[in-house]
């Protein structure tokens, strides 16, 4: 026997008819099963009113994780992926493209500061390149005013990367 999976609209309609006590009970039951559900609910209840403060705390946590990067290339790549996984989860919680750009730009700046510049380990290089491409794509989808603001910051990041990394070619990523 399988349970029928209903669409989001059907679930939304059904939730609107439930009393508040039963709705709270369902939320608590849902939170019990997955850590990510618990984290999302905690963000929505306690952190969503101060989005900028939450973003700053994520940046601080990512900066700390960068400062703890191991020396071996393989483990550095794993640690970088772990940081990106955390950033992706929190940007999903926030649901705001400008916050995602801020966090990814911060990731790239920390990368330039903490990761070995002469590394020949391709996965480490590809991590930075993918994030730069991702930021460029998101900036292209923003309103013109925001595009201008973030494109200046993005171009500054490209200049820094071109200066610090011998293998980086900024001409490939300009807006």
pLDDT for 54-104, tens place per residue?
A: 999 999 999 999 999 998 889 999 999 999 999 999 999 999 999 999 999
The confidence score (pLDDT) of residue 41 equals: 85
Please check the confidence at residue 28 and state whether its pLDDT lies above 90: no
Closest C-alpha to 131, from 92, 87, 94? 87
Residue 148 and residue 140 in contact, taking contact as beta carbons nearer than 8 Å: no
Closest C-alpha to 65, from 4, 106, 18: 106
pLDDT of residue 44: 87
Label residue 3 by pLDDT band (50, 70, 90): confident
Q: What mean pLDDT comes out for the span 138-146?
A: 89
Look at the chain and report how many structural domains it folds into: 1
Q: Does 159 map to a domain?
A: yes
* pTM, 2 dp: 0.86
Per-residue pLDDT, 58: 95
* Residue 124 domain flag: yes
Given a cut of 70, is residue 122 above it in pLDDT?
yes
pLDDT for the residue numbered 101: 95
Instruction: Identify the pLDDT of residue 23.
Output: 87
**Does any domain span residue 2?**
no
Res 1 pLDDT > 70: no
| Nearest residue to 171 (alpha-carbon basis) of 119, 136, 141, 145 | 136
Q: How confident is the model at residue 160, as a pLDDT? A: 92
Expressed as residue numbers, the domain containing 40 is 18-172
Cα distance between residue 55 and residue 122, in whole Å: 30
Q: Is the pLDDT of residue 27 over 90?
A: no
Check pLDDT > 90 for residue 172.
no
Residue 147 lies in a domain: yes
pLDDT band at 4 (very low <50, low <70, confident <90, very high): confident
Report pLDDT for 175: 67
Would 12 be classed as within a structural domain?
Answer: no
- 96: Cα separation from own chain's centroid: 10
Residues with Cβ within 8 Å of 63's Cβ and at least 6 positions away in sequence, in order, are: 106, 110
Judged against a pLDDT cut of 80, whether residue 118 lies above it is answered with no
Residue 108 half-sphere exposure toward CB, CA atoms < 13 A: 29
- Whether 80 is covered by a domain: the verdict is yes
**Domain for residue 9, yes or no?**
no
Per-residue CA distances from 37 to 5, 42, 70, 87 (Å) = 18, 9, 30, 16
């Amino acid at each position: 026997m399988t349970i029928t999976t209903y669409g989001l609209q059907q679930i939304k309609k059904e939730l609107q008819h439930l009393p508040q006590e039963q709705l709270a009970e369902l939320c608590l039951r849902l939170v019990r099963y997955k850590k990510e559900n618990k984290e999302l609910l905690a963000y929505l209840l306690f952190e969503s009113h101060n989005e900028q403060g939450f973003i700053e705390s994520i940046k601080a946590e990512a900066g700390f994780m960068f400062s703890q990067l191991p020396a071996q290339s393989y483990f550095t790549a794993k640690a970088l992926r772990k940081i990106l996984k955390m950033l992706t989860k929190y940007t999903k919680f926030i649901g705001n493209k400008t916050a995602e750009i801020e966090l990814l730009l911060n990731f790239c700046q920390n990368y330039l500061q903490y990761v070995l510049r002469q590394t020949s380990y391709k996965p480490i290089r590809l991590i930075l390149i993918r994030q730069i491409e991702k930021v460029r794509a998101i900036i292209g989808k923003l309103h013109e005013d925001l595009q201008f603001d973030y494109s200046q910051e993005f171009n500054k990041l490209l200049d820094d990367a071109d200066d610090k990394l011998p293998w980086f070619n900024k001409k490939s990523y300009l807006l």
